[in-house]
Amino acid sequence: MSNNHGLEPNSNYSFDLDINRTKTASLKYDGRQNMFGKAEVIPLWVADMDFAVPPAVTRALSKRAAHPVYGYTLYPESLYESLINWLRQHHGWREVQREWIVMCPGVVPSLHAAALAFSEPGESIIVQPPVYFPFFSAVTDTGRNLVQNPLYSDSGRYAIDFDHLEQCAAGARMLMLCSPHNPVGRVWSKSELERILYIAKKYNLVVFSDEIHADLIYAESEHHILATLAEDPTNIITAVAPSKTFNIPGLNLSALIVPDKNRRISITRAFEFLHVSASNPFSIVAFEAAYREGASWLTDLLAYLQGTRDLVEKYLATHLPKIQVTKPEGTYLLWLDCRKFGMSDAQLKHFFVHEAGVGMSPGTLFGEGGKGFMRMNIGTQRHIITIALENIRRASL
């Protein structure tokens, strides 16, 4: 399929193919009225993509659906193997043992479970805003003390304030790290991660490293799983999932890698306490098929997303300089600095939704540092992104 931007069309998979997702109980589409007060917006908000999943995943799900009993489910050994192989082949993490893996129905429930398992009420947990908003609620809903170590922007590239992090760490129990970082798209460098490890060790912090976006890394960047850089990963809990990578977040299955036995016991108890330990027959087959057979799809997806990311950057620089994009090194989420519009956040939301007809996530959702920003999800057909950009440009004239 051709496109208008001189970018190579995708070779093996049809990322340009429109798929009508309305009336599939899709949050992104059928939740628009509720979210934006208007159903006719181009939905570039909640983090799922509009692409068909790897064919192997659909095949595995169809095969499972053809068996007409959908009872309570175990995690088969082959599921663990698929994850261990993926981590070895794609992230160079060779040490992961089968018993280190704790399956869970999503990364957000694990953030909550980790707060319960590894800290006491009133103890401090550090988060780094602007950040994916459940990081805040995981701390506050469990009665822990929220400590914020805001990121700062250095000529449009976000960075960690390490001196401040160290001050926060002195009185804290945990750090909730988002790596790669949603919404600013940073893929933390090896040296940044090593500084985090140094501080964590010095202050005996437990680090919950949410690496759900670890596979969505653009060509010029390299992701390091935090635990792979640690001499002793005992205090690190790593969350991974095929959900963002292979576009199956609605199936709600993720995994924690917990090298320390006592920590595994604690987190498993927390899941039991929350009654969130069971999974379902569909999520397990999709999880396994994605990790086992999804690699070539992912390669093509990343090339497609990278083309779209670059297109947005170029378009904004040429036609809409009032919006500055923080070029993501990973994730399909673009953090747009809209402060040059000179609008309040309510006005910005109104402008994008009602004048441009584009539904993005307001930056204020992500806490401190989000004022005047919008998060754009580019995980859709490229021509839709072009229409959205054109709409914004026209509305801003």
Q: Which residues of the chain form contacts with ligand PLP (CB under 6 A)?
A: 47, 106-108, 132, 178, 182, 210, 212, 241, 243, 249, 254
Cβ(296)–Cβ(12) under 8 Å? yes
Q: Which residues are paired to 330 by β-bridges?
A: 217
> Between the CA of residue 334 and those of 72, 273, 377, what are the distances in Å?
39, 36, 6
The CB-of-394 to ligand PLP minimum distance in angstroms stands at 30
- Under a CB-based contact definition with an 8 Å cutoff, are residues 61 and 285 in contact? yes
- Residue nearer to ligand PLP on the CB measure, 47 or 320: 47
In whole angstroms, how close is the CB of 308 to ligand PLP at the nearest point?
Answer: 18
Q: Which is nearer to ligand PLP, 298 or 320 (CB)?
A: 298
Given a contact cutoff of 8 angstroms between Cβ atoms, the answer to whether 325 and 337 are in contact is yes
Nearest to ligand PLP of 51, 315 (CB atom): 51
CB-count burial class (<10 Å; 0-12, 13-18, 19+) for 318: exposed
Please give the Cα distance from 335 to 309 (Å, whole number): 11
Give least dist CB 241 to ligand PLP, A. Answer: 5
Residue 326: helix, strand or coil by DSSP? strand
For ligand PLP, the closer CB: 175 or 320:
175
CB of 240 or CB of 356, closer to ligand PLP = 240
Q: Is 319 exposed, middle or buried (0-12, 13-18, 19+ CB in 10 A)?
A: middle
Alpha helices per DSSP H over 92-189? 107-118, 134-140, 162-170
Give the nearest distance from C-beta 267 to ligand PLP in angstroms. 15
Judged by beta carbon, residue 372 or residue 379, the one nearer ligand PLP is: 379
- Work out how close the CB of 172 gets to ligand PLP at its nearest, in angstroms, rounded to a whole number: 20
**What is the closest distance, in whole angstroms, from the C-beta atom of residue 48 to ligand PLP in the complex?**
8
Tokens for 213, please give them: 């976006």
